[in-house]
Chains A and B, each alone.
Chain A
């Protein structure tokens, strides 16, 4: 369990703010092992989303080095970073971001289409992914017909259907009630255990934190505490 899937060295992120600059991340040093179930926690504005976006190569570091899956994301070409996301990274968003005109099946299928998988492979993998999240009966429905909890489960299925090594989840429970938040977290916990997928969260939701095996506390753009929890399985 000590294969380093992510290495962050001296990461600084600054945003231009008119005349001056705003420093959102200040000298972050962290590593993640394969199969971790970790999360960035901290108050609003502490930099959780910023760091997650950099790990997902959607944003670039201002200074420092961030190596994801052996790729230094600080100087990847647009094509290479798209490829990295396509093959190795699944995203889960606070607002689900499902495509409203596609069915549940098609939403999940899209990442496999981008990977040019055959129809048979897609069918099999999508069916399996929907089973993992318990939505096998909703394949034909469209997102507007789903509840928030169901929508987020579709998003999880979409993120994991391609069996990525890393799933980045930004406030995945923020739009869900307590019951659904737990269902979502348990689903991801199960996937983490069975598929050895690395999950990294950004959250300030206590319900999410209960499940994390590692909590990285961010405060004002710095890591203030990095704690590893004892393994426990929560039941609702």
Chain B
């Protein structure tokens, strides 16, 4: 077995430039697969991290009536979590309201957050230290779409728990920069205490954000959704992009494999005498097939070496400096950092390696299995095919 690999290696190395050209064709697929998946994995990792840092924490403990996907659940989806269960949790109360920036009317989701929290990156400490009457925070995209700047006053109108309208002049005391659209667009952050007073929902919350130390336990009327479950839609969306684009590099892979198939199919035609000679010298047809298959498989290894040679500097650059994307995640509804740093996991590299080697081996076997039906005498004459 080792012998056929040695012979195959020798055959390829001696074939020189032709071998490297074939390997080059396949190496494009290799590099593109690693490049693309590395980018998506990097994106996925950043998106997950952003989502955790800005919103999900280590899970959400939701009031049973509250469903973030259903705006109608806001009215009743809140309650008082018994004091003994509040350890390692940051409360958030969600309410609906309307702001009137420059006389325009904009419905907003008001989120009241505990100002002393350190679980998520919402800069709630600004709310604590502000001397304004009704200090509020906005994400940058929200601030832009409302045309509001730091220090601007804005009229905020809402109904309290009994349905009575009320209004105050709020002040934008901070604008934060985030990649997470679902803490930014259409949202207005304020102190939990203030929102509880405004609505009359004393001590109530819609959900709690868990920190790392939180230990979930069953609580009547509340449901704990762990971090992984919360992240699933984020990951699913990104993975959908991954599979969608697979077609691109699978096409490139197919071209590379076709080159190998062609080379090997032609090789057994051209090298019939050589095949006959090997058989005359005492190789079985099986061994000759294995030798030719090994040659084909080795193209993939050469392709990986070659791709590694020119790909590695690119990969290192992309991992260190990232790629900038002009599109904002907001318009796409997904978390996307302005710069994505590619991540190349061992799993990605091993998987790609195996994909290439296995597919090249199969293709090469397909091209060379004809040897099995060759008559050695005819092969020696060069007339077996």
A residues adjacent to B (C-beta < 8 A): 53, 56, 58-59, 78-79, 82-87, 89, 91, 93, 95, 97, 99, 101-102, 106, 110-111, 113-116, 158
Contacts and interface: CB of A to CB of B under 8 A. Distances in A.
Interface of B: 3, 6-7, 10-11, 14-15, 273-274, 276-277, 279-285, 287, 376-377, 380
A99 B7 CA distance: 11
A58 B285 CA distance: 12
A91 B10 contact: no
| Max chain B C-beta neighbours (<10 A), residue from A56, A82, A84, A115 | A82
A113 B334 CA distance: 61
A86 B285 contact: no
Contacts of B282: 82-87, 89, 111, 114-115
Contacts of B273: 95, 97
A110 B4 CA distance: 11
A86 B281 contact: yes
A116 B283 CA distance: 12
Contacts of B15: 101
A119 B156 CA distance: 89
Given A53-B377, A82-B284, A97-B380, 7 more contacts: A58-B280, A58-B377, A93-B380, A97-B276, A101-B15, A110-B281, A113-B6
A113 B14 contact: no
Contacts of A56: 280
Contacts of B283: 82, 86, 114
Contact of B377 (A59, A78, A101, A102): A59
A140 B280 CA distance: 24
Contact of A101 (B11, B277, B280): B11
Contact of B284 (A78, A91, A110, A158): A78
Chain B interface, DSSP helix/strand/loop, else mixed: helix
B264 to A, nearest CB: 16
A114 B3 contact: yes
29 contacts: A58-B279, A58-B280, A58-B376, A58-B377, A58-B380, A59-B377, A78-B284, A78-B285, A82-B283, A83-B282, A84-B282, A86-B282, A89-B282, A91-B277, A93-B277, A97-B273, A97-B274, A97-B277, A97-B280, A99-B277, A101-B10, A101-B15, A102-B10, A111-B282, A113-B3, A113-B7, A114-B282, A114-B283, A116-B3
Contacts of A110: 7, 281
A78 to B, nearest CB: 6
A101 B14 contact: yes
Contacts of B377: 53, 58-59
B377 to A, nearest CB: 5
Nearest to A106: B10
Contacts of A102: 10, 14
A44 to B, nearest CB: 14
A213 B7 CA distance: 39
Contacts of B281: 85-86, 91, 110-111, 114, 158
B235 to A, nearest CB: 50
B151 to A, nearest CB: 79
A106 B14 CA distance: 12
Contacts of A87: 282
Nearest to B271: A99
A110 B288 CA distance: 13
A117 B273 CA distance: 25
Contacts of B380: 58, 93, 97
B311 to A, nearest CB: 29
Contact of B280 (A91, A99, A116): A91
Contacts of A86: 281-283
A87 to B, nearest CB: 7
Contacts of B287: 82
Closest 9 CB pairs of A and B: A86-B282, A101-B14, A85-B282, A97-B277, A82-B284, A91-B280, A58-B376, A59-B377, A53-B377
A83 B273 CA distance: 20
Contacts of A78: 284-285
Contacts of B10: 101-102, 106
Nearest to A103: B14
Given A53-B377, A101-B10, A82 B277 contact: no
B194 to A, nearest CB: 83
Nearest to A88: B282
B274 A85 contact: no
Contacts of A53: 377
A83 B282 CA distance: 6
B148 to A, nearest CB: 75
Nearest to B285: A78
Nearest to A159: B281
Nearest to A111: B281
A45 to B, nearest CB: 14
A14 B277 CA distance: 24
